[in-house]
Structure 1
Amino acid sequence: MLARILVTLGGLLVVALFAALIAPLFIDWTSFRNDFEREASRIMGKPVVVHGSVDARLIPFPTVTLNDVRVGASDGGAPLIQVAQFSMSAELAPFLSGEALIFDMRLDRPKARLRLQPDGTLDWARGSRAAIPAHTVILEKVEIADGEIEFVDEQTGRTRRVSDLSADLSARTLAGPWRVEGRATLDGEAGSFSLSSNTVDETGALSLRARLVPDERPFGVELDGDLKIVDFRAVYAGRFTLTENRPASEVKADGALRINGEFQLTNESIRVPEYHFEIGPPDDPYIVTGEATLDTGKDQRFLLIADGQQIDVSRIGNSGSSGKTGRDPAISLRQRIDAMLAIAADIPIPQVPGRASLKLPAIVIGDTTVRDVRLDVRPDGAGWIVDNAVALLPGRTQLEAKGRLNLKEQRSFRGDLVIASNQPSGFANWLAGSVDPAIRTLKTAGFSATVNLTDTLQQFENLEVAAGPATLRGRIERQSFAEQPPALSLQLKGNRIDLEALQALAGLVAGDASTGTLLQ
């Protein structure tokens, strides 16, 4: 009897398996296609049409594959999203309780085209709203392979492209929470990313955490905030943290860079109303606070305001420790400025109009302390337009400068320069490690000029030199080339001259270790 029952059950199983194999041949796939298009359109909020074939199998689990799936259409008739092949595998049991458990979904070669209209609204946000079955569809695993996204910004006329998009997604329900991890290339720059979200709340806000790590950049960014659609415009606001993208051994040796603050991101601007910058040892970091704005719309501009405490450059990077700033009797003002320029050259130059304002009580570079630093600059291609630069050097020496600073290829500064010292002996001791007797007799000294300073040429036009009671006017030009002695040309006239004091001052500024032969 038992054997007959087993044989009967086995026979029924064979029939069931055979039916599962041939059933897809008799299913009305036209009806299935229509049902899929109707439900998918309701979920997406845009019309969904399957232009290709529909294939299915029931064993070992129900699997449906749809080819050439298109979502919506732009004004030009092109679809907003086109997927070359869309497949999904689901379990049968959850259907009995009214749920759809999709444990494997794959989108091959999806292409999306988003358009920002001239009024700043997102085309996807317009039209009918999505009707998401919040608790009926579960996605255990979704794979995106070889995806592309084209973002057309009609406000600015720019088009940005995401290519080589690959990602793994999962969702407790279609309404969230979502988790996404993957890689992509934005306008030729590759990197990795991860996203996680909660469900949309009653106000329409989606809590979203994002982490972006470019491959070729020294930093990554973590964002945690709320994403909303306000008047058909996307707004993402919350807090951010910048993290260094370098080996842990290097971070431990130099001290990690820590930047965090608030942000508001729209298509028109990136607004940072408050940021907190730390670098160096955690128990004694250097701190800068401020605000920043980058307008990314049609008229791109940026604003950066930084207000910090005293900074010791040698503690936070290699530039300060390797620069020529130690006590060296042959060092000069020009050489010390060279060391500072080497540090400035490491700062990225924005390629959009704007301005940056920096205020620091002191900068320590080796044995040098530069106090009361105020700097207002604007980017200009390979350099900066210096609207105002003020600093107090050793020897109660005031430095003021305005002009253009070039930091790429041949470094140069062209503009107006003023140096005025109320303690020339202290200024000389800082520069050369010793004080010429002729300088000790001076109570004040300084100069103002229109300058052209490069690595090989230093020109001082419209020069006015004050050395004690003596005032001289004219020009100075100094040329220095590798393996050649420097050449100095002076054209000066005035009411009186202290030759020894002038010779000593010229030697300090020009950078010649031996001033005895400088004016011969």
Structure 2
Amino acid sequence: MLGFLTRIIILLRRILIGLGCLLLIAFSSAFIVPLLIDWTYFRDNFEQKASLVIGKKVIIKGDISVRILPVPLVILNDIYIDQKSDDSFTSKIERFSMKAEFLPLLSGKIRIFDMHIEKPSLDFILSKEGNVQESFRIDHMLGRIHNIVLGKVYIHRGQIKILDQKSQHTHLFSSLDCTLSAQIMDFDPKVSLDSVKGSVQIEGNGAFNHQKGSFKVVALFPASNNVLPLKVKLSPYPHSFVISLSGDLSWNHHQPVYAGSFSSYMDVSQLLKLDHSLGKAYITGKFQFSEGNMRISHYRFEAVPHPSIPKTTQQNPPTISDKESVSPATAVYEQ
């Protein structure tokens, strides 16, 4: 599971780079067309550059709208990516729109304060080695943009299908409604995965392999000394259960290791499907994921009774930790 998570993080970096490149292409295409815009030229220019950068054929089948003043605005409809031999496409975005600040463009920056990506349907393949395409091609004009700030990116009803060749499993993220904010700094004409520098935050809800829930992920790029700070918060539905992980993702002999602290709380009565609430339970501790195992070196459990329970039974809420009433041991979970 950790190996899959690591490859997902690498894939996320690739998506961010691809998104940044598409922003560069969209704005450069908008500024080089004449005042009386030739939409055919704009479409052809965008498709040609996007296909070159991504390495997959990109076609815009829908309408295009571009506005420079008072606020730069680009709207693209029905974007198809990666044409197959039967003329169908692997991925599609139904509608893509973005608004940007004008002045930062003059100093080589793109600052997007509002972007909407509607019904994206994307397919990816993770190789057995977890390798992904690591480089993108950018022409001289696009290379002048060196800083991209995404204030708010709204993703509506998204779907991502991932074929993991290592496990021969297909994973599906569906019904994705989330917001993304990121700062991509120090863009270089020779763009690579290491070019993604800054913070990335994704928050929303959806379903993973048909299991619904909400999520929040915060990461800092690039990894410093081969260590990537990563925070994850998950809340699966319909359970009243929340778990938060905060730690560092590193690589030990090419094996991913994610270690840090965790906290979790739950409504025990809902988890056990009881009619009356028993209150909430809290668990905190230290964790480490490595080589397919989860290891908990320290934990503390505390149960807080519901206010409706008589106070005579609440004087000493039960607590348990590995230093008190259980023998010091390490919990290991084999996947």
| Same fold? TM cut 0.5 | yes
Find the partner of 2:319 among 268, 276, 285.
285
Equivalent position of 1:127 in the other structure:
133
CA deviations on 1:58-80 (whole Å, 9 max, x unpaired) are 34422112233345579999766
Cα distance per residue 1:199-237 (max 9 Å; x no partner): 213545432211111122342221223446899x89361
- Gap change, CA 1:64 and 1:113, over 3 Å in 2: same
- Alpha-carbon contact 1:89-1:105 (below 8 Å) kept: yes
Which residue of 162, 181, 192 corresponds with 1:170? 181
Please give the TM-score of this superposition, normalised by the length of structure 2: 0.63
Q: Do the aligned partners of 1:200 and 1:207 also contact (CA within 8 Å) in 2?
A: no
Q: Residue type of the partner of 2:58?
A: V
Residues 48 and 69 in structure 1, CA contact (< 8 A), matched pair in contact too: no
Show the counterpart of 2:71.
61
Unaligned runs of 5+ in 1: 1-22, 296-520
2: CA distance, partners of 1:29 / 1:294? 57
Going from structure 1 to structure 2, the CA distance change for 1:245 and 1:279 (only over 3 Å counts) comes to: closer
Confirm whether residue 146 of structure 1 aligns to residue 146 of structure 2.
Answer: no
**2:181 touches 2:200 (CA, 8 Å); kept in 1?**
yes
The one-letter code of the counterpart of 1:136 is: N
- The Cα shift of 1:171 comes to 1.7
Q: Following the alignment from structure 1 to structure 2, what is the Cα–Cα distance between the partners of residues 40 and 201? A: 29
The answer to whether the Cα contact below 8 Å between 1:79 and 1:113 also exists between their aligned partners in 2 is: no
How many equivalent pairs are there? 264
Deviations 1:139-189 (A, max 9, x none): 111110000122223344432222110011112336331222111012222
Report the Cα distance in structure 2 between the residues aligned to 1:102 and 1:36, rounded to whole angstroms.
21
Alignment of 1:207-356 (within 5 A): 207-227=229-249, 235=256, 237-246=258-267, 256-264=281-289, 269-272=292-295, 274-280=297-303, 285-288=319-322, 289-295=329-335
Aligned counterparts, 1:438-477, within 5 A: none
Which ranges of structure 2 fall in alignment gaps of 5 or more residues?
1-33, 186-196, 269-276, 305-315, 323-328
Instruction: Give the corresponding residue for 2:93.
Output: 83
In 2, the alpha carbon distance for the partners of 1:38 and 1:228 equals 35
The structure whose Rg is larger is 1
Please report the RMSD computed on the Cα atoms of aligned residues, expressed in angstroms.
4.1
Q: TM-score with structure 1 length normalisation?
A: 0.43
Report the CA distance shift for 1:163/1:112 in structure 2 as closer, same or farther (over 3 A). same
Residue 207 of structure 1 aligns with an amino acid whose one-letter code is P
Q: 1:32 to 1:75 in 2, by over 3 A?
A: closer
- Separation in 2, partners of 1:100, 1:140: 11
Contact 1:46 1:71 in 2 (8 A): no
Letter in 1 for 2:321: I
Give 1:110's aligned residue: 120
Residue 51 of structure 1 and its aligned partner are, at CA, apart by 3.1
Residues 88, 227 of structure 1: alpha-carbon distance in 2 compared, 3 angstrom cutoff = farther
Which position in structure 2 is the counterpart of 1:473? none
Compared CA separation, residues 270 and 161, structure 1 to 2 (3 A): farther
1:51 aligns with 2:44: no
Counterpart secondary structure, 1:245: strand
Q: 1:48 to 1:135 in 2, by over 3 A?
A: farther
Q: How does 1:338-377 map to 2 (within 5 A)?
A: none
The amino acid that maps onto 1:126 is V
Percentage of matched positions with identical amino acids: 22
The separation in 1 between residues aligned to 2:289 and 2:86, in whole angstroms, is 32
**1:49 corresponds to which letter in structure 2?**
V
159 and 275 in structure 1: CA distance in 2 versus 1, 3 angstrom threshold: farther
Q: What residue number does 1:356 align with?
A: none
